[in-house]
Amino acid sequence: MWLRAAGRSRCPVPDGRARCRAPSRGAPRPWRPRPRCPRGGRRRSQAHAKIWHLYNTSFRPTQGGQVSIALGSHWIIPRRRTDHNIKECQKSLDFVLGWFARPIFIDGDYPESMKNNLSSLLPDFTEAEKKFIKGTADFFALSFGPTLSFQLLDPQMKFRQLESPSLRQLLSWIALEYNHPQIFIVENGWFVSGTTKRDDAKYMYYLKKFIMETLKAIRLDGVDVIGYTAWSLMDGFEWHRGYNIRRGLFYVDFLSQDKKLLPKSSALFYQKLIEKNGFPPLPENQPLEGTFPCDFAWGVVDNYIQVSQLTKPIFSLTKPYHYLYAGWHQSVWLLCLFS
């Protein structure tokens, strides 16, 4: 497989602002719309199409390979379940992922929501260009993660809706939106604090979560996902965060001379996952049937407080307060009675 990098996640946003900047000194310059930025997106699509056609005619007959382009995206949910907010979510995905995905996988042209909102900035494709760009990917290469999908996302591209790290929903949306292509997840992962050593429980949790969502998308939703690549192999310098975060499966001591690589907990988990090709059933997770011993004791307990006189409560709350912690849903009943 051949993958052309620098998809949406490294591109300027359609309204003209650069989506990622190098660390610099001094105050940031005020933003002004620049029409050349949307033209840059158009040229990227044309450049990718030329690469695909070059490989298709000159190298595919002898190599038999496949070519695609890495496209980064977020997932977004409506603030409220209204038609307007749902349309805004669709627009957000159109502006971020659809800008490049629709020309390649559908009809060679921009999404309608982009053309309706940015008609003065978006340069039109000619009919010949549409035909040249359409179909220039042999599979859908998806990048999804906190830096790739969220931290670099311009706030205006959210259209006042809510981001969500839900890979399964994004995979299902791509399947429906782009005629069920084969999807290869080429970059996916999370991050931990730069002070974290080799016990990266947070990273491992998200890695397991994303891979499990991928499996559910395949088994339950019928999405044609053909591969998964964790991001990244080792800790390194992050363009926006420096050494303040770590995203590698292998720990690197940046202060040492040899920069020796040491596997983290997430690396050992990922190794076992690949060896088993998924999540094998574990004994502690298997359903269990049977009866308890004959002399096993059963019971129920209760307690009460005897009061001589009832008074009106100063504060009373009888509805459950739901909260989410570490993936477990719990309900707490709060009842305060003062006398």
Q: Which has more pLDDT, 27 or 275? A: 275
pLDDT in tens, 155-206: 777 887 888 889 999 999 999 999 999 999 999 998 889 899 999 999 999 9
> Quick one: DSSP state of residue 302?
-
Least reliable range by pLDDT among 11-15, 120-124, 184-188: 11-15
CATH fold, domain 2-18+34-285, is: TIM Barrel (3.20.20)
DSSP E strands: which ranges in the chain? Answer: 2-4, 67-72, 76-77, 140-144, 162-163, 183-188, 192-193, 225-230, 245-246, 250-252, 261-263, 321-325, 328-332
Is residue 178 within 8 Å of residue 140, measured between CB atoms? yes
d(CA 234, CA 212): 22
pLDDT in tens, 50-77: 999 999 999 999 999 999 999 999 999 9
pTM: 0.77
Quick one: pLDDT at residue 305?
63
Quick one: pLDDT at residue 118?
85
Least reliable range by pLDDT among 19-28, 44-53, 150-159, 191-200: 19-28
Quick one: pLDDT at residue 18?
43
pLDDT score of 337 more than 60: no
- For Cα atoms 241, 192, 149, give the angle at the middle one, nearest 5 degrees: 65
Can you tell me whether residue 98 is helix, strand or coil?
helix
Q: Which amino acid is at 178?
A: Y
Least reliable range by pLDDT among 29-33, 45-49, 267-271, 275-279: 29-33
